Amino acid sequence: MAGKSKPKPEQVGRASELRELLARHNRHYYELDEPLIPDAEYDRLFRELLALESEFPELVASDSPTRRVGGAVSGGFAEVVHGMPMLSLDNAFSDQDVLDFDRRVRERLGTDVVVYCAEPKLDGVAISLVYENGRLLVAATRGDGAIGEDVTHNVRTIASVPLELRGSGLPRRIEVRGEVYMPRQGFLELNRRAQKSGEKAFVNPRNAAAGSLRQLDPAIAARRPLEMYAYGIGQASGGELPDRHSATLQRLREWGLRTSPEAALVSGAEGCLVYYRVLEARRDALPFDIDGVVYKVDDYGCQQQLGFVARAPRWAIAHKFPAEEQLSQVEAIDVQVGRTGAMTPVARLTPVFVGGVTVSNATLHNFAELKRKDVRIGDTVTVRRAGDVIPEIVSVVLARRPPGAAEVAVPAVCPVCGSEVVQAEGQVIVRCSGGLVCPAQRKQALRHFASRRAMDISGLGDQLVEQLVDSGMVKTAADLYCLDQMHLSALERMGDRSAARLIQAIDASRKTTLPRFLYALGIPEVGDATSRLLAREFGSLDKLAAASEEELQAVPDIGPVMAAGIAAFFRQRDNQQVIADLRKAGVGWDESAETARGSQPLRGRSFVLTGTLAGMSRDEAKARIESLGGKVTGSVSSRTSYVVCGEDPGSKLARATALGVQVLDEQGFLALLEQQA
Ligand code: IVH
C-alpha cells in the first residue's frame, strides 16, 4: 500500500518533529552520556517515525535517525574510520515479532529450520578493537557507525581486554567487536563514592560505562570498574576464520578474549523463545545489566545470503525484555503514615506498564529524597521497576515541567490524626507523634499483625482493617480476639459466611509460635529473621521482655540501636498492656518447642527443584528445605513458592516464568536457607 496515498500535513509535521526529537535524544544519549528519557520512550518515538516513513516513503529524509546509527563524533578524540560499518540491530518486542523474524529468515533461505546463536544483549557501549600481529592497535567507539572515536588510551586500562592475543591461527589484522559494560556492583560503588564527594551520580551502568570511556585522562578510566565481552568479528585479513558465529566465539575465547558464557545454539523460533524465558528469569541474578537477547543466524554463508537493510542486518534481531524504565506523570503526592509513624511521600502516577507490571504509585522514601529529586505535582518522571524491587522515580524530565508545578512540603501536622510532626536530630525520617492514637499507625500495625508471616489471619484484608478501625471496633490487636460474628456481620460488604470464616481464622491464630508472635508485635527494626533469632536465644517471651540492653547486645547480629529499640518497646506501658491482653485472649505457643525444634520458617512454602546444583545433591536440597518446614513437590503450579534452578534446567523453569513463580538460582537458594538458619 506504501506510497499510494499522500501524507496529511500533520503527518509531515509529526515526522519532522520526530526527527528533531530523536536527533536531540541521540545527542544526549551518545554524546553527552546523559539521556533525558528512558530507552522505551526513545524506542516508541523511533517506531512512530519508522511507521510513518514506511507508510509514506517520501517522508524519509537522508539524515533521518532511522537511517543512521547512534550519535555524531564529538571533539576531543581522534576519529577512527571503521573498516566495516558498525551497524545496529532491529528490535523484537513480542514473541510474534520473533516468529515473524524467523519466518522471514526461513523464507529468504528456503530452509525449514534455522540454527541461531542466542546471546544476552549487554547494556553497555559498543566497542571495536583492532589487533595487528596480535597486538591491540586501536580501540574505537561506534560513533555514527561509519566513524568512531579513538578511546584506545582508556580501553587499555580494562583488565578483560587483552593487550596481546595468544594462541594459533590469528589473522594478521583483525577487528574484534564487543561491548564494554560496568557490572552493577561496581556501578553502585562508583555512585556511592560520587555522592559522598558531592559529584554527580550516573543514571545507570550504561551511562557510567560510556562516560568512563569518554574520559580524556586514562587514569580516570582506570579507576572505573569496566569490563568487556566480545561478540563478533568485523574486518579481518591475513588468516582463516571459522564459518559459523558460534565457532568464532570459541576462537575469540582461545585468543584470550572474554565472551558471554550464556551464549548458546538454539533451533528455530521455539528455541529462541525458550532461551529468552530462561535468561529473563536469570536477569536479576546476572552481575550486569542486559536489556534483552540477541539471536544471530549461526551460519556465515546464510548470513551473507540474508544481507542487510538500512542500518541493521537481516540475520540478527534483538529481542528486548520489558523495559524497566518508562515515563509517567505525577498526579499527586500523598503522605503515607507507616506503622511506626514514619511519614513517606508517595507519588500517585498515571498508570504505566513497567518492568512487567502496571505501576501507579512510587515511594519517594522520605522528604529529603523528595527534595533531592525535586519531584513536583504535574511533573513527567522516569519510573523504574527492576525485578522485585519497589518502583521508584529515577528523575524528572525538567523540559516537560508545566509552569507553576507545585512543590510538596513536610506537613506541619500528621495529615491523618493531626498530631504534631517530629524529626529526631540528625535523622531524615519525619514522624507522626500520635502513636496508637493515629488511625493510620493503628491500621498499619493491625495489617502487620495479621500478615502471613506474623499471625497469618487470612481474610483480614486492608479494607476490613479500614472498616474495623474507622468504626472504632478495633483499637489494638487484642481487640481482634473480642470480635463476634454478630458485630462483624453488621459491617458493610460482610456476609454471615465471611464473618464466620474470619472468626475462625482469628481463633486459629491463637495457637502460634513465639517467633511469629514477636514478629507480629511490630517491634521497630525487628523482622522475621530477628524474631526467630530472639526466640531461639531467649526461649521465652518473659525472658526476652526482661532482658537488658546489654543482654540483648550480647546476641550476635543485634547492635546497640536494635537492642535499645527492643528494650524500649517492652518498657512501654501500652505495649505491655497489649501483650497482656493478647495472652489473656488465649494467644499462646509452645515455648519448649522454640529451642528444641526451631520455628519451621519455611512452613507453608513449596519448592520445585530443576537442573543440577553444583554444591549439593537433590536429596540434600530436599532434606534442607524439609528441615526448615518447607515442602518439595514435583511440578510447578501457581501455588509453588519457589523454583530452584541449577545447571541445565528443564521445562519447569519456562513454566515457572510463564506463571510468574519466583525462580532462585543456586546462590539465591543458599541465601534463602542461610536467612532462615
Ligand atoms: S551484535 C550487526 N551482539 O547492541 C549487529 N550486539 O543495536 C552487531 N549489543 O550497540 C551487533 N550485546 O553493541 C550484538 N551479544 C550482542 C550484543 C550486542 C549488546 C549491542 C551492540 C549495539 C547494539 C545493537
Q: Tell me the C-alpha distance between 125 and 205, whole Å.
A: 10
Q: Tell me the C-alpha distance between 439 and 416, whole Å.
A: 7
Same domain (yes/no): 525, 565: yes
Is the distance from the beta carbon of residue 316 to the nearest atom of ligand 1 less than 6 Å? yes
Ligand 1, closest atom to CA 88? 7
* Ligand 1 atom 16 nearest Cα: 121
Same domain (yes/no): 223, 300: yes
Q: Tell me the C-alpha distance between 501 and 257, whole Å.
A: 64
Q: Is-contact 140 149, C-beta < 8 A? A: yes
Q: What is the CATH number of the domain that holds 666?
A: 3.40.50.10190
Same domain (yes/no): 151, 169: yes
Task: Kindly state the cell numbers that stand for 407.
Answer: 512543590
Q: Tell me the C-alpha distance between 538 and 158, whole Å.
A: 52
Burial string for 186-217 (b: 16+ CB within 10 Å, else e) reads bbeebbeeeeeeeeeebbbbbbbbbbbbbbee
Q: Which of 43, 90, 122, 249 to mutate to test the pocket of ligand 1 (most atoms within 8 A of CB)?
A: 122
Phi-psi region of 604 (alpha: psi -120 to 50; beta: other; left: phi over 0): left
Strand partners, 115: 267
Task: Kindly state the cell numbers that stand for 288.
Answer: 550486569
Is 156 inside any structural domain?
yes
Q: Verify whether residue 121 is a known catalytic residue.
A: yes
Q: Which residues contact 96 (CB under 8 A, 6 or more apart)?
A: none
Query: Which of 453, 475, 508 represents a domain boundary (last residue)?
Result: 508
Ligand 1, closest atom to CA 119? 15
Phi-psi region of 557 (alpha: psi -120 to 50; beta: other; left: phi over 0): left
How many CB atoms lie under 10 A from the CB of residue 254? 14
Q: Is-contact 177 296, C-beta < 8 A? A: no
Q: Tell me the C-alpha distance between 322 and 284, whole Å.
A: 13
Is 408 inside any structural domain?
no
Q: Of 121, 296, 320, 373, which is the active-site residue?
A: 121
Is the distance from the beta carbon of residue 86 to the nearest atom of ligand 1 less than 6 Å? no
Q: Which of 68, 128, 179, 260 to mutate to test the pocket of ligand 1 (most atoms within 8 A of CB)?
A: 179
Q: Which of 231, 246, 260, 306 to mutate to test the pocket of ligand 1 (most atoms within 8 A of CB)?
A: 231
How far does the centroid of ligand 1 lie from the alpha carbon of residue 136, in Å? 21
Is the distance from the beta carbon of residue 313 to the nearest atom of ligand 1 less than 6 Å? yes
Grid look-up 588468516 returns 239
With CA atoms as reference, report the closest residue to 525 among 583, 539, 533.
Answer: 533
Same domain (yes/no): 143, 20: no
How far does the centroid of ligand 1 lie from the alpha carbon of residue 531, in Å? 48
Q: What is the DSSP string of 228-289?
A: EEEEEEEEEESS---SBHHHHHHHHHHTT--B-TT-EEEEHHHHHHHHHHHHHHHGGGSSS-
Q: Tell me the C-alpha distance between 373 and 353, whole Å.
A: 22
Is 444 inside any structural domain?
yes
Is 199 inside any structural domain?
yes
* Ligand 1 atom 21 nearest Cα: 126
Q: What is the DSSP letter of 487?
A: H
Q: Which residues contact 455 (CB under 8 A, 6 or more apart)?
A: 449, 509, 512, 516, 517, 520
Query: Which of 569, 593, 617 represents a domain boundary (last residue)?
Result: 593
> How far, in Å, are 176, 183, 208, 228, 239 from residue 157 at the CA level?
17, 16, 16, 11, 28
Range(s) of the domain holding residue 30: 9-67
Is 573 inside any structural domain?
yes
Same domain (yes/no): 462, 547: no
pLDDT tens figures, 367-423: 999 999 999 999 999 999 877 678 999 999 999 999 999 999 999 999 999 999 998
Same domain (yes/no): 189, 300: yes
Is the distance from the beta carbon of residue 179 to the nearest atom of ligand 1 less than 6 Å? yes
Is the distance from the beta carbon of residue 234 to the nearest atom of ligand 1 less than 6 Å? no
Q: What is the CATH number of the domain that holds 234?
A: 3.30.470.30
Is the distance from the beta carbon of residue 488 to the nearest atom of ligand 1 less than 6 Å? no
Ligand 1, closest atom to CA 121? 12
Grid look-up 517471651 returns 541
pLDDT at 311: 83
Ligand 1, closest atom to CA 232? 1
Q: What is the DSSP letter of 201?
A: P
Is 75 inside any structural domain?
no
Task: Kindly state the cell numbers that stand for 201.
Answer: 551520580
Ligand 1, closest atom to CA 123? 19
Is the distance from the beta carbon of residue 375 to the nearest atom of ligand 1 less than 6 Å? no
Q: Tell me the C-alpha distance between 173 and 130, whole Å.
A: 7
Is the distance from the beta carbon of residue 91 to the nearest atom of ligand 1 less than 6 Å? no
Q: What is the DSSP string of 443-458?
A: HHHHHHHHSTTTT--T
* Ligand 1 atom 12 nearest Cα: 121
* Ligand 1 atom 10 nearest Cα: 126
pLDDT tens figures, 122-169: 999 999 999 999 999 999 999 989 999 999 999 999 999 999 999 888
Is the distance from the beta carbon of residue 122 to the nearest atom of ligand 1 less than 6 Å? yes
Is 388 inside any structural domain?
yes
Q: Which amino acid is at 103?
A: R
* Ligand 1 atom 2 nearest Cα: 87
Same domain (yes/no): 191, 105: yes
Q: What is the CATH number of the domain that holds 569?
A: 1.10.150.20
How many CB atoms lie under 10 A from the CB of residue 241? 14
Task: Kindly state the cell numbers that stand for 522.
Answer: 511490630
Q: Tell me the C-alpha distance between 475 and 443, whole Å.
A: 9
Same domain (yes/no): 348, 389: yes
Same domain (yes/no): 144, 252: yes
How many CB atoms lie under 10 A from the CB of residue 297? 25
Ligand 1, closest atom to CA 87? 2
Is the distance from the beta carbon of residue 119 to the nearest atom of ligand 1 less than 6 Å? yes
How many CB atoms lie under 10 A from the CB of residue 86? 23
How far does the centroid of ligand 1 lie from the alpha carbon of residue 178, in Å? 7
Same domain (yes/no): 532, 550: yes
Grid look-up 485472649 returns 585
> How far, in Å, are 6, 12, 63, 543 from residue 9 at the CA level?
9, 5, 20, 80
Same domain (yes/no): 530, 504: no
Q: Which residues of the chain are under the pLDDT cut of 70?
A: 1-4, 67-75, 388, 593-599, 677
Helix (H, G, I), strand (E, B) or coil at 498: helix
Q: Tell me the C-alpha distance between 25 and 32, whole Å.
A: 10
pLDDT at 557: 81
Query: Which of 552, 570, 593 represents a domain boundary (last residue)?
Result: 593
Is 376 inside any structural domain?
yes
How far does the centroid of ligand 1 lie from the alpha carbon of residue 121, in Å? 6
Ligand 1, closest atom to CA 70? 10
Q: Tell me the C-alpha distance between 402 and 394, whole Å.
A: 19
With CA atoms as reference, report the closest residue to 629 among 659, 584, 673.
Answer: 673
Same domain (yes/no): 221, 115: yes
With CA atoms as reference, report the closest residue to 379 among 358, 394, 357.
Answer: 394
Strand partners, 259: 230
pLDDT tens figures, 593-610: 665 445 577 877 899 999
CA-based torsion, 431, 435, 437, 440: positive or negative? positive
**Number of domain units in the chain:** 6
Q: What is the CATH number of the domain that holds 45?
A: 1.10.287.610
* Ligand 1 atom 17 nearest Cα: 121
Phi-psi region of 284 (alpha: psi -120 to 50; beta: other; left: phi over 0): alpha
